[in-house]
Amino acid sequence: MDQPDRSTPQRRDISQPKGRQVDETALAEVAMLLAEMPRRRDMLIEALHAIQDGLGALHVRHLAALAELFHLSQAEVYEVASFYHHFDIVREGQDAPASLTVRICDGLSCEMAGSRTLIDALQSTTDPARVRIQPVPCIGRCDKAPAAQIGKRAVDNANQARIIEATLMAHEAEIPAYESLDAYRSVQGYQVLGRVLSGEMGAEAAISIMSDAGLRGLGGAGFPAGRKWSIVRGFDGPRLMTVNADEGEPGTFKDRFWLENSPHRMLEGALIAAHVVGCERIYIYVRDEYPAVLEILRHEIAALKDAGLLSTPIELRRGAGAYICGEESAMIESIEGKRGLPRHRPPYIAEAGLFGRPTLNHNVETLSWAPDILKNGARWFADQGSTARPGLRSYSVSGRVANPGVKLAPAGITLRRLIDNFCGGMAEGQTLKAFFPGGASGGVFPPAMADLPLDFGTFEPHGGLIGSHAVVVLGQADSVRAAVLNTMRFFAHESCGQCTPCRAGTDKIVRILQEPNPDPGLLAELKLVMSDSSICGLGQAAANCVAHLIEYFPEELA
């Protein structure tokens, strides 16, 4: 009888640390790609980008090498890399992705424009070994739907022929014509910053003007800008500032528009705010889907430094495809080199934000108004709004209108006036069936509510919100239920997973809406639990559209 093999099992070399060993070749490759980049935890995501840009993907051997260079555990590096959608991790035995990725938006506006048909056609006709066709959430080009991104090059109003043609072209970001530093200075740009730096306009005077103008945070929350400056300034320093250019709300593209046209409006506003509040450094967080914006800001920040106008140091940070990082505390976690998980509050970031310091956070449009307001006065801005609603707003309009795009209009304008006076009316052959006033989380409403002011406080009593002023218009042939399902798929995909009500609730709602006869009672219960117990605004507002589907469009659930 054969005897069992009782030989001693292979044991690891106890002279080596436990876990995956660092490959010396991989270590040299990563060190070369990182060049002079500081080996700090807050630079981890930038390092991951550098490796993926250089090698096309993140192989596990390079992640191990990165952990060694950053003096982090391999688990810490892996958990960050695997959290963000734009990082491609290649495990042992796996093939690297195709050298070219074609991202096609499947968000609401693009789906209405036929992106699903485009995705299916390309996936069935394209060689996956050469080109990867990847459906992705909103990429911030909703007015040019369906939108795609080939490498770093945007393709607007895409169809199959244009996509195939574009794959043969260079795939770097195409930089649009924009207002350069010299052009901005020729129209008195940075003069307000000079007045603030010289003391001609003191901090209290600047805060007073901002407060009297009625400017509110235009990233979604609507907190009064002048009051925010005063609050953060009241905490002991050192203080920091963050600029949120990670607009990922489906239907929103106004910040990209302003940064691709007039980047120095935001940059001057940021430098003014930093000086008034006493912030030692500015961090601008830009979504990875905006490669042209990243290149513009890199160039213009360098130009500011060369011109001696960079009164506060600015660091540019690149997102990695996580919508949740539009939430201010999740963005701060990401800047610190971590997963973008929203923080519990209090404390609020005004008191303990980036690196535990008091932090002033604004979005792009809010800061872009600061130089004009301080130059022309509070009344100049306030008087451009409608009755009792001060100022101007940038509305991102997409869907079934004749001329979608960013529309600069008075605060509180109604949807009907916005469509008729700024969008050329509805698209040919279309009549208004429904609209999202504030992007995916703003809820969906019937035409009977199209005469309400598009402003903060208007839709909240009806279970909605204006948010970032992203207006998506549906026509008579569109299915509201399909639009709600698309929205909930987005939230299920983008939930950070930290809290069960959001993680499980969004997925459950998607599955219920896919059933032939969804149960309105069960949907309403899920919505209530998510709203009452989710950690952040994603889970709290994700199912707003579901409640409105039940209330205003019940026939579509039958």
pLDDT at residue 222 in the model: 87
DSSP conformational letter for 14 = T
End-to-end CA distance of the chain: 71
- What is the pLDDT averaged over residues 127-134? 93
Which pLDDT tens digit goes with each residue over 61-99?
A: 999 999 999 999 999 999 999 999 999 999 988 999 999
pLDDT at residue 5 in the model: 57
**Which pTM value belongs to this model?**
0.95
- What is the pLDDT averaged over residues 43-67? 97
Which pLDDT tens digit goes with each residue over 286-319?
A: 999 999 999 999 999 999 999 999 999 999 999 9
48's CB contacts (< 8 A; 6+ apart) are 58, 66, 80, 81, 84, 87, 320
Full set of structural domains in the chain with CATH: 24-90 (1.10.10.1590), 100-166 (3.40.30.10), 181-378 (3.40.50.11540), 392-475 (3.10.20.600), 480-557 (1.20.1440.230)
Look at 26-35, 161-170, 388-397, 435-444 and tell me which has the smallest mean pLDDT.
161-170
- What is the pLDDT averaged over residues 23-43? 96
DSSP conformational letter for 216 = B
Residues, the chain, total?
Answer: 558
pLDDT at residue 19 in the model: 66
pLDDT at residue 542 in the model: 95
Q: What are phi and psi of 283, to 5 degrees?
A: -115, 120
Task: Answer whether residue 387 shows pLDDT above 90.
Answer: no
pLDDT at residue 170 in the model: 86
What is the band of 232 on the pLDDT scale with cuts at 50, 70, 90?
very high
Task: Answer whether residue 11 shows pLDDT above 70.
Answer: no
Other Cβ atoms within 10 Å of 124 Cβ, number: 8
What is the band of 3 on the pLDDT scale with cuts at 50, 70, 90?
low
- The H or E element containing residue 409 is strand 405-410
Please tell me whether residue 538 adopts helix, strand or coil conformation. helix
Please tell me whether residue 92 adopts helix, strand or coil conformation. coil
Share of the chain above pLDDT 90, in %: 91
Q: Residue 27: exposed, middle, or buried by beta-carbon count in 10 A (0-12, 13-18, 19+)?
A: middle
What is the band of 386 on the pLDDT scale with cuts at 50, 70, 90?
confident
Classify 35 in phi/psi space as left (phi over 0), alpha (psi -120 to 50) or beta: left
Which pLDDT tens digit goes with each residue over 186-197?
A: 999 999 999 999
281's CB contacts (< 8 A; 6+ apart) are 240, 241, 312, 313, 314, 315
Report CA-CA distances (Å) from 354 to 42, 173, 319, 338, 416: 10, 30, 16, 12, 41
Which two structure tokens, joined as six digits, stand for 421?
Answer: 């006076």
Residue 382 contacts residue 410 (beta carbons within 8 Å): no
HSE at residue 2, side-chain half, CA atoms within 13 A, is 3
Task: Answer whether residue 8 shows pLDDT above 60.
Answer: no
- What is the pLDDT averaged over residues 377-381? 95
Residue 468 contacts residue 396 (beta carbons within 8 Å): yes
Please tell me whether residue 291 adopts helix, strand or coil conformation. helix
Task: Answer whether residue 7 shows pLDDT above 60.
Answer: no
What is the band of 375 on the pLDDT scale with cuts at 50, 70, 90?
very high
Which pLDDT tens digit goes with each residue over 356-372?
A: 999 999 999 999 999 99
- The H or E element containing residue 153 is strand 153-155
Share of the chain above pLDDT 70, in %: 97
Task: Answer whether residue 18 shows pLDDT above 70.
Answer: no
pLDDT at residue 92 in the model: 87
Residue type, 158: A
pLDDT at residue 384 in the model: 92
Residue 114 contacts residue 121 (beta carbons within 8 Å): no
Which pLDDT tens digit goes with each residue over 463-518?
A: 999 999 999 999 999 999 999 999 999 999 999 999 999 999 999 999 999 999 99
Other Cβ atoms within 10 Å of 160 Cβ, number: 13
Please tell me whether residue 148 adopts helix, strand or coil conformation. strand
The Cα 408–Cα 452 span in angstroms is 18
The Cα 488–Cα 513 span in angstroms is 9
Q: What are phi and psi of 68, to 5 degrees?
A: -65, -45
Compute, in degrees rounded to 10, the torsion defined by CA atoms 143, 145, 148, 149. -10
The Cα 426–Cα 434 span in angstroms is 12
